[in-house]
Amino acid sequence: MARPALLAVSHGTSDLDGARSIAALVARVADRMPDADVREGFVDVQQPDAASALAAIDGPVVVVPLLLSQGFHVHHDLYGIATERADAVVTAPLGPDPLLAEVLALRLDGIGRPGSPVVLAVAGSRDERSVPDAEGMAALLRDHTGRQVDIGYLAARHPDLPSALNASPDAVVATYLLGRGFFFDLAVRQAGDRPITPPLLDDLQADNGIPDPLVELVISRYEQVESRS
C-alpha cells in the first residue's frame, strides 16, 4: 500500500534566500522519503497556495505545517482545507521541539560570551495558542543550554524584542525563525550591535545548507500521524 503524500506548507516569503531555504528543506525531505510523494504549498505570498496544492494530490495526504507554533494559519487555513478532504490530516506544527532547541544551541555556539543570557526572537501572533508554544520553546532551549532564556516578540505581543534586550543588557539574540525575510530583517535592525544568530535553515557549515535535525523533524511529524492512520 502506498504511503500518504506529504504536503509541506510554509508561510511563504518574497525574500529569495528565505524561499530557497524552504525549498531546500522540502527537497531534503523528499530525498529521505523516496516512497512518498512530497509536495510544497504556502499560506501566503508564494504559489501554489495550500488549497490548490492539496487539490492537486490524489489519495491520502498528511499536511505538515512548516510553521513554528499553533496559530491562525494552522487552525484556520490548514485545518480549514483539510476538513473538505476525508483523507487529509494536519500534523502539529514544528515547534516547540527538542530538535529545534538542538539547532538553536548550535547557532549560539561562539556567539557572544560563553553562557551569556539569550533573548529568543519570536515572530509573534495574535492567536493565544501561540503563547505556550513560544514559552515551551524558550524552556526547551533553557534546559538544553543551561542559559537564561527570555522571549522578545517581533510583532503582536509583549515584551517586544527591544524591550527584552533592554531588560537583559548582556544578552545575545537567538533567531527563532525558519528562514530569511521580513521578520529576520526586523530582528537584525532591532538587535543593533547585539550578536544575533542566523535563521534555523541557514547552515553555512553544511554542504546542503539544511541542518539534519530539521529534516528529521518534518519526517517525524509525518510519521507520527501515519502510524496512527
Report pLDDT for 110: 82
- Rounded distance between C-alpha atoms, residue 15 and residue 13, angstroms: 5
Q: In what order do the strands lie in the sheet with 5-10?
A: 38-42, 5-10, 61-65, 88-90
Hey, what domains does the chain have and what are their CATH numbers? 5-94+208-226 (3.40.50.1400), 98-191 (3.40.50.1400)
Q: How does pLDDT run across 198-225, given as a tens digit for each residue?
A: 999 986 455 557 899 999 999 999 999 8
Please answer whether residues 120 and 141 qualify as being in contact, where contact means their C-beta atoms are separated by less than 8 angstroms.
yes
- Rounded distance between C-alpha atoms, residue 134 and residue 156, angstroms: 13
Q: How does pLDDT run across 55-114, given as a tens digit for each residue?
A: 999 999 999 999 999 988 788 889 889 988 999 999 999 999 999 999 999 999 989 888
For 3, the grid coordinates are 504511503
- Predicted TM-score (pTM) of the model is 0.94
Percent of all residues in the chain with a pLDDT value above 70, rounded to a whole number: 96
